[in-house]
Structure 1
Amino acid sequence: MGAAGLLLCIAHITGCLLAAGLLGRSALPWSYLALMANFFLVRQSIATPANLLLVAGLIAMPPLLRGPPPDLQALVVIILIFGFGYRFSRRLQGDHTRLELLASLDALTGLPNRRALEKALQQQINGARENRFRQALVVLDIDHFKEVNDRHGHAAGDAALSDLAAILHAELRDNDKVFRFGGEEFVILAETGSREALAGFSERIRNAVFQALNGPDGRITISLGAAMYGGEQHWQDWFSRADAALYRAKSEGRNSFAIADDLP
């Protein structure tokens, strides 16, 4: 819930402490609800110290929990609610993290998907200026992929996509990232530093796929379009330059690459 959740959490703590000071033990049930609710309003890293602050405030009021006589039942209830809330929110946060990971992966190839790509590109554009201009975007797809599907069925097409994903993953360096953008199209985000290095990188990827990717009719090739980051404010503009280069590579016979900086 972000800022709204944080404000509600603060309101819960403040309201419960004020109510406890004015109404005494009759206000404790509201504190139980606040302890549980806070774990679902904000991140666990915030809810835990916030709830500890609330509990400490309640204990600091002598007539409330410390007696005389001490209200052991209320103390036990508070401890149980705090423990259950902490454990449940921790499990919920773990489930949320796993779901986010699954939502960012392509089911067929296991590569990060378009959603993950868009997030990564936006992070690059928002990153340090000196690092941005060393980054390159390579858009590639399988040549004549529709023919593979039409002649041999979707199983053969899926196998080609999976094999291509494995080849790309094996060829990339530690800091490079590859994504499945959709259909037969893949995107690589790599740090190359210059147009010349990008050309060498693109040729290496093209040749690796040419040597290793095979289908029912023999070799399967790819075409690539590449673009160094050129100061774009929006990742879509950067992607469009690389995509235009891919179109040029395909129009010139496929099984080749083109660099956006070389286009007229």
Structure 2
Amino acid sequence: MSIDWPDELGPARLETTVMNYCGWTTVAVVFGFVVYRFLTGDPFGALINAIIVVLLVSTILLGRIPRFKPQALIAFGSIITASCLMSALLVSPNGLLWTYLVLWINFLVLPRSVAIVLNLLVTVILAANVWLFDDLLQHISWITVAVLISGFSLVFTNELKAQRRMLSQLATLDPLTGAGNRRLLQRDLERAIAENRRARRDSTLMVLDLDHFKHINDNHGHEAGDQVLEQFVTMVRKTLRTEDGLYRLGGEEFVVLLRDMDPQTAQTNLRELHERLSGRVDSPEGPLRFSAGAATLVTGENWSQWLARADRALYQAKNEGRDRLVMS
């Protein structure tokens, strides 16, 4: 199962926010320079600034299209890097002041390797143009500060990404078993429904409940029960495809999302899957068996209706004697 990110913690969420905030702010400021340079008789400088404005606006608007966000972020970093160089080399040495901001932003919006390359390029090119600096001390000071900012930005963004990854796991994964939690289940079910509406892709849901699991906790303790749950999740996950999902609803109840599985395939394969998996994990009370209910998505259902239908099939399986699968 591929681990998804919550929308508010997604890998591109911070990057997109930085691009939008810094991008629009830069557009407003640079547009002011366009007007100023034009009015003060510097049409070449005004043209350079105008080109920067057009490129930034185009990139920010491209980033509003979800499938183009990664490309827009790369383009944004490249544009602000090129703009920094053009401002310093073609317009005014005052463009050096923009360098520090660009070095920082690149690490926030770009993949680490790309940011390192662009920042190194900016630093080397500008440092090589000694005429930009008033004296040797200013030259050395600028290089030192540029290197320090790049180093600090690299360390900071690495730590930030690690923290975001940890927060994502806390928000979407069950801490004991590593299976997805209910929040991730709801989002994946909603996406499966959207795929069904858009591309007629069928998906099947299977709800599992471990039979007589309470006896393990009562007779051998919760630690033994936790170990059994972890072993069960490991066993089920090895059986699933990478596009499938495994989630823990709570206690000893789990949900499996099987993408691209139509009703006919589900009827044939899920009973065989149940027979292969039930009893494969050993527990202090003997082979661990489970009851299951399955339901293929019906057009017009929402995620809770779909889950409820599979859940009703599960309870039918339990009422009929457990250790069996019922299709809804």
Query: Normalising TM by the smaller chain, what interval?
Result: 0.7 to 0.9
- Distance (Å, rounded) in 2 between the aligned partners of 1:39 and 1:182: 42
Structure with bigger helix share is: 2
Structure 2 vs 1, CA of residues 123 and 68 (structure 1 numbering), >3 Å: closer, same or farther? same
- Distance (Å, rounded) in 1 between the aligned partners of 2:235 and 2:156: 40
* Alignment of 1:44 onto 2:110: yes
SS state at 1:106 partner: coil
SS state at 2:132 partner: coil
Match of 1:109 in 2: 177
Stretches of structure 1 lacking an aligned partner (at least 5 in a row): none
- Distance (Å, rounded) in 2 between the aligned partners of 1:233 and 1:2: 35
Letter in 2 for 1:72: H
Stretches of structure 2 lacking an aligned partner (at least 5 in a row): 1-13, 37-86
Match of 1:166 in 2: 234
- Distance (Å, rounded) in 1 between the aligned partners of 2:165 and 2:157: 13
RMSD: 4.0
Structure 2 vs 1, CA of residues 211 and 67 (structure 1 numbering), >3 Å: closer, same or farther? closer
How many pairs does the alignment contain? 249
* Distance apart, 1:153 and its partner CA: 1.5
* Alignment of 1:5 onto 2:18: yes
SS state at 1:133 partner: coil
- Distance (Å, rounded) in 2 between the aligned partners of 1:76 and 1:156: 60
**Which of these residues, 141, 154, 162, is aligned with residue 95 of structure 1?**
162
- Distance (Å, rounded) in 1 between the aligned partners of 2:17 and 2:230: 44
* Distance apart, 1:39 and its partner CA: 5.7
User: Percent same amino acid among aligned pairs?
Assistant: 26
* Alignment of 1:245 onto 2:313: yes
Match of 2:251 in 1: 183
SS state at 2:246 partner: strand
The TM-score with structure 2 as length reference comes to 0.60
SS state at 2:187 partner: helix
Deviates most, 176-185 or 128-137? 128-137
